[in-house]
Chains A and B, each alone.
Chain A
Amino acid sequence: MIWGSEAAGVAAYGRIENSARDLLRYRLGGFTLIEDGVALADDATLWVADAELRPAYAWDLGAHAWWLHDNTGGNGGSFGSGPTSQLSQLQGGPRLVFLNSSASTGTGTATAAEVDADLLWFSVDAGWNRDLDRGPLGLRGMALANLGRLYVTDQPDVDVRGWLLNGELRWRWTRGRGSELALQGLASSGDSSGSGGGSATDDGRYTGIVTGNSYGIVGAVWATHNTLLLFPDPDAINRQVAVVSDVSGAGRGLLAATLSLGFDPIPNRLTTRLTAAQAATASGQAIGTETGAALTWHPLPLFDVGLHGAVVTGARVADMTATSPATAPLTTLPAYPWAVLAHLQWVLF
């Protein structure tokens, strides 16, 4: 488990198999994501239970339940922790703002309130031939519910009620691993209740989702979109340049679709790919559109050299420095953000 934090823990893995396949794989684990004072109960811990069932040839079903218990008060680590943290701001997560009243502090200045949290993620997923090794067509989908509660010092609790859906269709249309048409869609809920000038949590509820990005660097990356700029490229070490870095859409929710068409002119050696992607907030405000192309050479097993290019049009992102970033107006980026990326990937083991 990679959370980009000081996470440490223990997990048990197991499986039940027969002579046809692994029928069930599971993981049970507990991790301390943030350990502040060693003797203090001011940590963030994560408990996970994952199960993957393979009921029949080419089918797999998954169920996951994760519970994050955050006692850090939002003060864990160097950048803070949780949905009020600078981590959320840096990672494109939902940065929520809770201020103590100036009267309560006695200083005449509003300061950030401490926020603890219990967050639950329940998800189910299903796939049919998801790795395209059982035929040319593959499908997969996932549904997630993000529930929980934020405990704000001297203020009413805030309930978290978010959801996310993701689906993908893949078709290997001719010879070669890269000769693939992939269509993917993602939708996550947002919260626009404070868009009139208040905060998203003024109504005592937050209906967007909170991701692991609020508790560690790039803990929740959407990795299969094939874009460079609109969403973070999972192959790039620096992922901070994406227009949308977190599937919460910085609290606004996300509607995204990506389409990529690949072709191997030399099967399994040279791959070309064209990609188009579009993203909008859950309420339909356009965030940006990317078009891109890639050329990848696979001269050796597990060794790739590639050249990628992409341009984004109409990009607008959240102003994370606003008083209430999750509801502040979207800010327009330079007219045509573009990127050219050369990559070399060599998997050694």
Chain B
Amino acid sequence: MIAALLSSLMACAPRYNHLPALSPADITAPLPTQSMVVDTASLAGVRIAYIDSRQAGIQPRDPDATPLVFVHGLSSSMGFWEYQLNHLAAERRVLALDLPGYGASSRPDAPYTPPWYSEVLTAWLDQLGLDRVVIVGHSMGGQVALTFALRHEDRVAGLVLAAPAGFERFSTGEAAWMKNYWHEERALEAREDELRATFTQVVFNHHDEGVERLLRERVQLGRDPSFRGTSVAVSRSIAGMLDYPVIDRLGEIRAPTLIVFGKDDRMIPNPVFTGGRTETIAKIGRDAIDGAQLVMLPGAGHMVQHDDPEGFNQALLWFLAGQVHTARQRPAPTGSTLSDTFGDAVSAAVSAAVRDGASQ
């Protein structure tokens, strides 16, 4: 403890507030970014930035496998999947998009609700000619993925929910409080120290160069005029998740589903309104979704795919190999949890990796 204290005291947090504003077009992306303007009746003119491993020229081991589509969470971007996209692109075609309001996509005056994002996904997939995909959604992206699966059951070959929103129930008063707090200027008001505290103490459990880069980009993006649109999107996205809950419809999900949580997620359950342990919330989702599998990754937090990329990617590949290829041919054990078996194996592998890393 003393060593940790001294180390923390001596560490000097980098400062980014002197850096120039960053345009959304210049955000770092794991693969070359493409762009399209969707052209539907309700979404005409919305520009979507995305990456597609096929368009990037990456040849996967199984080019015929169902493509993987990654949907980021609140106030994030494609870059938050940096430890997944290149790795999994070697296996099969992967795609990721910046949801409108975030990243390099446009910031229209839109509802930014999960149903609206579901429409965006539909239009984007249509335009790409993709009929059936496996959707991987993180946090808010998980609720968007659930909403999409409820609306387009036939287009979802599998669901991977990484620390998904949507498994908690909030009262009317709690929802009102959250909406009031996250007004449309709130994200604009956040200062660098607050962002650093949120990134390092709430969102991520493992602090590495990737987190530092994402934080630097967030600080610089906050200085760009376009960030006003992001602030609006954050506010409306939160209101949308509260106004369009999925918790009572989880039993209608028919797609094979994998749920992955970090055991030390500090955002789920909501520490103010819900409290308790992440596993409690995770099991609510697992028990409600027929045949869903649950992996709890020790030591990982809300950004589970970043905190424990090896564990997350192993779980995802295991799921793809055992579930999606045989979609519904092999019944999943009802109400099972993998945390006693697979999760422990992942945990052991990660512990070994951490040990190795520490000894180097």
Closest CB-CB distance, A128 to chain B, in whole Å? 6
B187-212 CB contact bits vs A (8 Å, 1 = yes)? Answer: 00001110011001100000000000
Chain B contact-residue range equals: 20 to 34
Cα A258 to Cα B5 in complex, Å, equals 20
Cβ A57 vs Cβ B17 within 8 A: no
Cα A17 to Cα B266 in complex, Å, equals 29
A113-126 CB contact bits vs B (8 Å, 1 = yes)? Answer: 00000000000000
For B17, give its contact among A19, A266, A269 (CB under 8 Å): A19
Cα A133 to Cα B8 in complex, Å, equals 13
Asked if A137 meets B276 with Cβ closer than 8 Å, knowing A19-B191, A20-B17, the reply is: no
A196 within 8 A of B: no
Cβ B191 vs Cβ A267 within 8 A: no
A139 within 8 A of B: yes
In the complex, chain A residues 174-230 whose Cβ is within 8 Å of any chain B Cβ = 175, 177
Q: Which residue of A lies closest to B264 (CB)?
A: A175
In the complex, chain A residues 292-325 whose Cβ is within 8 Å of any chain B Cβ = 298, 301
Cβ B17 vs Cβ A18 within 8 A: yes
Cα A301 to Cα B171 in complex, Å, equals 13
For B191, give its contact among A20, A129, A137, A266 (CB under 8 Å): A20
Cα A135 to Cα B17 in complex, Å, equals 21
For B271, give its contact among A135, A137, A139, A268 (CB under 8 Å): A268
What does DSSP make chain B's interface, helix, strand, loop or mixed?
loop
Cα A175 to Cα B17 in complex, Å, equals 31
A134 within 8 A of B: yes
A9-23 CB contact bits vs B (8 Å, 1 = yes)? Answer: 000000001111100
Asked if A57 meets B13 with Cβ closer than 8 Å, knowing A21-B192, A139-B5, A268-B271, the reply is: yes
Which residues of chain A come closer than 8 Å to B192, judged between CB atoms?
19-21
A3 within 8 A of B: no
A335 within 8 A of B: no
Cα A27 to Cα B74 in complex, Å, equals 38
Cα A20 to Cα B196 in complex, Å, equals 10
Which residues of chain B come closer than 8 Å to A19, judged between CB atoms?
17, 191-192, 222-223
Which residues of chain A come closer than 8 Å to B17, judged between CB atoms?
18-20
Chain A contact-residue range equals: 20 to 34
Closest CB-CB distance, A298 to chain B, in whole Å? 7
Which residues of chain B come closer than 8 Å to A58, judged between CB atoms?
13
B54 within 8 A of A: no
In the complex, chain A residues 10-42 whose Cβ is within 8 Å of any chain B Cβ = 17-21
B128 within 8 A of A: no
B12 within 8 A of A: yes
Cβ A21 vs Cβ B191 within 8 A: yes
What does DSSP make chain A's interface, helix, strand, loop or mixed?
loop
Q: Which residue of B lies closest to A268 (CB)?
A: B275
Which of B12, B200, B201 has the most chain A CB atoms closer than 10 A to its own CB? Answer: B201
Cβ B4 vs Cβ A137 within 8 A: yes
B172-197 CB contact bits vs A (8 Å, 1 = yes)? Answer: 00000100000000000001110011
Cβ A56 vs Cβ B12 within 8 A: yes
Cβ B271 vs Cβ A128 within 8 A: no
Closest CB-CB distance, B224 to chain A, in whole Å? 13
Cβ A56 vs Cβ B13 within 8 A: yes
A151 within 8 A of B: no
A171 within 8 A of B: yes
Cβ B193 vs Cβ A21 within 8 A: yes
Which residues of chain B come closer than 8 Å to A133, judged between CB atoms?
197, 201
B9-36 CB contact bits vs A (8 Å, 1 = yes)? Answer: 1001101010000000000000000000
Cα A177 to Cα B200 in complex, Å, equals 17
Which residues of chain A come closer than 8 Å to B4, judged between CB atoms?
137
In the complex, chain B residues 122-164 whose Cβ is within 8 Å of any chain A Cβ = none
Cα A19 to Cα B19 in complex, Å, equals 11
Cα A137 to Cα B18 in complex, Å, equals 28
Cβ A57 vs Cβ B196 within 8 A: yes
Closest CB-CB distance, B62 to chain A, in whole Å? 40
Cβ B272 vs Cβ A301 within 8 A: yes
For B276, give its contact among A21, A134, A267 (CB under 8 Å): A267
In the complex, chain B residues 261-301 whose Cβ is within 8 Å of any chain A Cβ = 264, 266, 271-273, 275-277
Which residues of chain B come closer than 8 Å to A169, judged between CB atoms?
5
B1 within 8 A of A: yes
Cα A19 to Cα B15 in complex, Å, equals 11
Q: Which residue of A lies closest to B4 (CB)?
A: A137
Q: Which residue of B lies closest to A129 (CB)?
A: B8
For B5, give its contact among A137, A267, A301 (CB under 8 Å): A137
Closest CB-CB distance, A132 to chain B, in whole Å? 9
Cα A137 to Cα B2 in complex, Å, equals 10
For A134, give its contact among B5, B201, B223 (CB under 8 Å): B201
Which residues of chain B come closer than 8 Å to A129, judged between CB atoms?
8
Which residues of chain A come closer than 8 Å to B5, judged between CB atoms?
137, 139, 169
Q: Which residue of A lies closest to B219 (CB)?
A: A19
Cβ A268 vs Cβ B8 within 8 A: no
Cβ A266 vs Cβ B15 within 8 A: no
Which residues of chain B come closer than 8 Å to A18, judged between CB atoms?
17
Cβ B276 vs Cβ A268 within 8 A: yes
Q: Which residue of A lies closest to B277 (CB)?
A: A267
Which residues of chain B come closer than 8 Å to A139, judged between CB atoms?
5, 9
Asked if A171 meets B275 with Cβ closer than 8 Å, knowing A21-B192, A57-B196, the reply is: no
Asked if A266 meets B193 with Cβ closer than 8 Å, knowing A20-B15, A20-B17, A133-B201, the reply is: no
Cα A139 to Cα B192 in complex, Å, equals 22
Cα A22 to Cα B191 in complex, Å, equals 9
Which of A58, A266, A268 has the most chain B CB atoms closer than 10 A to its own CB? Answer: A268
Cα A267 to Cα B197 in complex, Å, equals 20
Which residues of chain A come closer than 8 Å to B200, judged between CB atoms?
134-135
* Given A57-B13, A57-B15, A175-B264, 18 additional A-B pairs, CB 8 A: A18-B17, A20-B17, A20-B193, A57-B193, A58-B13, A134-B196, A134-B200, A135-B200, A135-B201, A137-B4, A137-B5, A137-B8, A267-B275, A268-B271, A269-B275, A269-B276, A301-B272, A301-B273
| Subset of 6 A-B contacts with CB under 8 Å | A21-B193, A57-B13, A128-B8, A137-B1, A175-B277, A266-B277
Q: Which residues of B come within 8 Å of A, CB atoms?
A: 1, 4-5, 8-9, 12-13, 15, 17, 177, 191-193, 196-197, 200-201, 222-223, 264, 266, 271-273, 275-277
5 closest A-B pairs by beta carbon, nearest first, are: A269-B275, A268-B275, A20-B192, A57-B13, A19-B17
